[in-house]
Chains A and B, each alone.
Chain A
Amino acid sequence: MSLHPFVIELLQFALLLGLAPAFAGWVKVLKCRVQGRTAPGILQPYRDIRRLFGKDIVLAENASWLFRFTPYLTFGVTAIAAGIIPLISVDLPLSATADVIALVMLFGIVRFFTALAGMDIGTAFGGMGSSREMTIASLAEPAMLMAIFTVSLASNSTSLTQMVSVMAHSEFVIRPSLAFALAAFILIALAETGRIPVDNPATHLELTMIHEAMILEYSGRHLALIEWAGMMKLTLFFALGIAAFCPWGIATGGDTGLLLLAFVALSAKLVVGACVMVLIETGLAKLRIFRLPEFLGSAFLLATLGMIAFFILE
């Protein structure tokens, strides 16, 4: 049985919305196990989201429409990205509307509005968080584009579906450029999703938080949407990495059996990817914020070296 492309598209949305909290929960469980703590259970993020949806919203008196609008925008735009990144199949009608550059821009929009909302209330923490987030973003985004462009060079396209189908069906050759790009991508993904060497997702300690500081004033369903979007972003970065660097097993059409196989492959890769990230996070200490330019600078260097290696060596 073959599914219509639009059905696949909807399936991808449902998959991301439904699986993102489970994935975030899995990461948390793994992290607790590795660090010798008692794990809260893989379903805890679902319970957190339900609890937050049930709560009332507390708004500051001087909150503008921007503050109220941002959670919906964050959630909506992050969900759109799920229609562009091939999770289980490359046959996505929506992907023709946006390529990788547009994808980076989508994440940029989310960050822009979150930073504005952080400053909207006028608390010191919000402003501090926004300023830090934008500092990191200004360094991470060029590096991210360079890393993705290296893959684009290898596949002659900036369209994600095109990139994935070329990468999945080319014969195996050792490509130093892709190895560099992958290393750069891992560094950037850690920075963009606010994981340990850059930001600590589990802390509310005033002086070290970055992303948490921006959303500190949110409550109720607003917070639920932002948290959910954050989990989706984490999953999407993993999915993007998988799509760009090891897309083997992804379905080319709408055949149900192949889709099921692609889903199993994706889940397996996500599970393994989470293990890698947890090991990185546990092995490293959080960097001082003034060392971050060097961290992201090395990501940029690796991405550029990947691009140069493509021209020199391949």
Chain B
Amino acid sequence: MTHTIATQINSLLAALILLSAFALLAQRKIMGLVHIFAWQGLLLALSTAVIGYASGEHHLYISSLLTLGMKVILLPYILYKLVHKLKIHRDIEAVVNVPTTMLLGIILVVFSYHLTAPIRELSNLMTRSTLAVALATIMLGMLMMVTRRHAVTQILGFLAMENGLFFAATSATYGMPMVVELGVALDLLIAAFIFGIFFFHINTTFESLDVEQMAKLKETD
């Protein structure tokens, strides 16, 4: 009984994660993006905890807490500070044609559904159906990195991709070994510091975080 309810709640959370991935694609304001990213992290942490409860794999509680600490509190806080320090918190990015990006996103979701269909048939875990959502989140994060031009937005796309990967690991195999998870968390933290430093450098060199500016670095002959 609890098992089916847990599956349903997990499906709902997966659907909301997918929605948040689309919201990231559509949002124009940088601060709005950071908020949606934090919400996505929270949904991910909840989903991990629910899976941990239903499957009896208690190490998932630890990774849920880790997600909560890293992706809901620490990373958004670092980004928040960065955005304020760089004085871009009021920036509104000119996004190229949101409806087209959305349609591309839908195609990517259908694609990942077809890609994961065989795995779904083979698996007997309660989370087998959310694997497609996880893959779709990864692809949508990638789409965001490709279509956006702002450095901070691209990093957020990268982090959303990482969220998708984490979700995929939980759905496919009930999570990675603890050592790997701790390693990834640490890497993410280091990455946050590194891209923070990069933002400052890009900003001082080009006086903007628009990566199009980097075309100037090309040698002309």
* A interface residues with partner B (beta carbon < 8 Å): 173-174, 176-177, 179-180, 293-294, 297-298, 301-302, 304-305, 308-309, 311-314
B54 contacts the other chain (Cβ, under 8 Å)?
A: no
A residues in contact with B8, CB < 8 Å: 173-174
Which residue of A176, A294, A309, A313 is within 8 Å of B98 (Cβ)?
A294
Alpha-carbon separation in the docked complex, A278 to B9 (Å): 30
B residues in contact with A312, CB < 8 Å: 113, 129-130, 132-133
Complex contact A176–B14 (CB within 8 A): yes
Closest B residue by C-beta to A298 = B26
Alpha-carbon separation in the docked complex, A297 to B15 (Å): 19
Which residue of A293, A302, A313 is within 8 Å of B14 (Cβ)?
A313
Q: Which of B14, B102, B130 has the most CB of A within 10 A?
A: B102
Which residue of B16, B102, B110, B132 is within 8 Å of A297 (Cβ)?
B102
B12 contacts the other chain (Cβ, under 8 Å)?
A: yes
Closest B residue by C-beta to A139 = B99
Alpha-carbon separation in the docked complex, A179 to B18 (Å): 13
A residues in contact with B22, CB < 8 Å: 301, 305
- Contacts A174-B11, A176-B11, A314-B11 given; does A308 touch B113 at CB 8 Å: yes
Complex contact B11–A308 (CB within 8 A): no
Complex contact A308–B99 (CB within 8 A): no
B residues in contact with A308, CB < 8 Å: 106, 109-110, 113
Task: Specify the main secondary structure of chain B where it touches its partner.
Answer: helix
- Contacts A301-B106, A313-B129 given; does A293 touch B99 at CB 8 Å: yes
- Contacts A174-B11, A297-B98 given; does A311 touch B113 at CB 8 Å: yes
Complex contact A176–B12 (CB within 8 A): yes
Closest B residue by C-beta to A294 = B98
B residues in contact with A293, CB < 8 Å: 99
Alpha-carbon separation in the docked complex, A179 to B19 (Å): 11
A-B contact pairs, 18 of them (CB 8 A): A176-B14, A176-B15, A179-B15, A180-B19, A294-B98, A298-B26, A298-B102, A301-B22, A301-B102, A304-B106, A305-B18, A308-B106, A311-B113, A312-B129, A313-B11, A313-B129, A313-B133, A314-B11
B residues in contact with A176, CB < 8 Å: 11-12, 14-16
For B, the interface residue count at a CB cutoff of 8 angstroms equals: 23
Complex contact A309–B15 (CB within 8 A): yes
Closest A residue by C-beta to B98 = A294
Alpha-carbon separation in the docked complex, A302 to B106 (Å): 10
- Contacts A176-B11, A294-B99, A305-B18 given; does A313 touch B113 at CB 8 Å: no
Alpha-carbon separation in the docked complex, A173 to B5 (Å): 8
A residues in contact with B133, CB < 8 Å: 312-313
Contact with A along B104-137 (1 / 0, CB 8 A): 0110011001000000000000000110110000
- Contacts A298-B26, A305-B22 given; does A180 touch B98 at CB 8 Å: no
Q: Which of A180, A309, A312 has the most CB of B within 10 A?
A: A312
Closest B residue by C-beta to A301 = B102
Chain B proximity of A176: nearest CB distance (Å): 3
B residues in contact with A173, CB < 8 Å: 8
Contact residues of B between 1 and 35, Cβ < 8 Å to A: 8-9, 11-12, 14-16, 18-19, 22, 26
Closest B residue by C-beta to A177 = B15
Closest A residue by C-beta to B100 = A297
B residues in contact with A294, CB < 8 Å: 26, 98-99
Give 9 closest A-B pairs by Cβ, nearest first: A176-B15, A313-B11, A174-B8, A297-B99, A312-B132, A176-B12, A309-B15, A301-B102, A174-B12
B residues in contact with A298, CB < 8 Å: 26, 102
Chain A proximity of B31: nearest CB distance (Å): 19
Chain B proximity of A76: nearest CB distance (Å): 36
Chain A proximity of B26: nearest CB distance (Å): 7
B residues in contact with A302, CB < 8 Å: 19
Alpha-carbon separation in the docked complex, A26 to B46 (Å): 40
A residues in contact with B16, CB < 8 Å: 176
A residues in contact with B102, CB < 8 Å: 297-298, 301
Chain B proximity of A132: nearest CB distance (Å): 18
Alpha-carbon separation in the docked complex, A297 to B130 (Å): 25
Alpha-carbon separation in the docked complex, A253 to B123 (Å): 45
Which residue of A301, A304, A313 is within 8 Å of B15 (Cβ)?
A313
B residues in contact with A304, CB < 8 Å: 106
A residues in contact with B12, CB < 8 Å: 174, 176, 179
Closest A residue by C-beta to B112 = A312
A residues in contact with B98, CB < 8 Å: 294, 297
Name 8 extra pairs, CB < 8 A, besides A309-B15, A313-B11. A176-B12, A176-B14, A298-B26, A301-B102, A301-B105, A305-B15, A305-B106, A308-B109
Alpha-carbon separation in the docked complex, A309 to B11 (Å): 9
Chain A proximity of B77: nearest CB distance (Å): 29
Alpha-carbon separation in the docked complex, A309 to B110 (Å): 10
Alpha-carbon separation in the docked complex, A173 to B6 (Å): 11
